[in-house]
Amino acid sequence: MTAVTETTAGPAHAPVPRPRGGIVQSIGDSLVVARRNLIRMARIPEVVIFGLIQPIMFVVLFSYVFGGSMNIGGTTDPSVYRNFLMAGIFAQTVTFATAGAGAGIADDMHKGLIDRFRSLPMARGAVLTGRTLADLVQTALTVVVLTVVALLVGWRVHEGIPKALAAFALLLLLGYAFSWIGALIGLSVRTPEAATSGGLIWLFPVTFISNAFVDSGRMTPWLRHIAEWNPFSATVQACRELFGNPGVSQSDAWPMQHPVWASIIWSVIIIAVFRTLAVRKYRSAAS
């Protein structure tokens, strides 16, 4: 009797899976997590709708309630203030999305979703990167809607479409940078409610001690210096220049003289610092 021996080897020409590198795997995992979060957002449209209501209210209230009492460039013309205002409203909108990013990550931690991700062969930083990318997409949609509202109330771009797109790119870069601050806050608290509160408390002084809603040149000297070196102010100033809107500062401070470069540098620094801290916090929280 002849013994038959079975082999466990596969076909001779079967493809051999190639191991993915660290960067390739991190990018792929981040995109998968981002897709998961975007699908989740689409299934809860009220979150997106409520996120749109607040900036629209700010546009209407500031334009029509304060517009006639603000002196911009020596005039109190409400139409001048509306054009001055919109760069600040755009910047405030992209940064206020930070609170939602922090609350989302805190909610995932609270529900144990992070523990499930830990059991998968995925890059550790991909969970946070995917979340921040999904929030960036939602922020971009909000900015599109807000732009339509701004056009309806009289805001206009005077430097052409390419420069306007560059301004929106700076806004989204700032929003993405601030979302990493929100991620760190979300990992540092125990509940989504605490993340929402913690994500908003520090944003109010950052956005209001700036050139977003008033001319920083009219502030007291010590407060003006803070406003001029505020990363938020640099992006607002850059957007006003690129949009061709009134209110370009005459300050000698470097960020006000070179706002585009200052905006890019500040955003890159914030991403580098807070992404490092957030990933480190994520690893310690998940260990």
Q: DSSP letter string over 7-62? A: -----TTPPPPPPPPHHHHHHHHHHHHHHHHHHHHHH-HHHHHHHHHHHHHHHHHI
The per-residue pLDDT for 12 is 45
Using a 10 angstrom Cβ sphere, with 0-12 exposed, 13-18 middle and 19 or more buried, the burial of residue 106 is buried
Q: Cα separation of 215 and 85, whole Å? A: 10
Instruction: Return the biggest CA–CA distance within the chain.
Output: 107
Contact yes or no for 136/179 (Cβ under 8 A): yes
Q: Which residues contact 249 (CB under 8 A, 6 or more apart)?
A: 211, 215, 216, 217, 228, 237, 256
* Sequential pLDDT tens for the chain (287 residues): 444 444 444 444 444 444 445 677 778 878 888 888 778 777 777 767 777 787 888 888 877 777 667 767 666 677 888 888 899 999 999 998 887 778 777 777 777 666 676 666 677 677 888 888 888 888 898 899 899 988 988 888 988 899 999 999 999 999 999 999 988 888 888 787 888 778 788 898 999 999 988 888 888 899 999 999 999 999 999 999 999 887 766 778 899 999 999 999 999 999 999 999 988 888 776 55
The per-residue pLDDT for 260 is 95
Predicted TM-score of the model (pTM): 0.83
Closest CA to 275 of 172, 180, 175, 185: 180
Q: Within 10 A of 197 (CB to CB), how many other CB atoms are there?
A: 15
The per-residue pLDDT for 259 is 94
Containing H/E element for 78?
helix 78-111
The per-residue pLDDT for 62 is 79
Length of the chain: 287
**Token pair in block for residue 208:** 């209001």
Q: Cα separation of 158 and 167, whole Å? A: 12
The per-residue pLDDT for 11 is 46
Any idea of the CA torsion for 207, 185, 112, 19, to the nearest 10 degrees? 100
Residue written as tokens 């370009």? 248
The per-residue pLDDT for 128 is 84
What's CA 110's distance to the chain center, in Å? 23
The per-residue pLDDT for 1 is 45
The per-residue pLDDT for 22 is 64
The strand pairing partners of 75, in sequence order, are 72
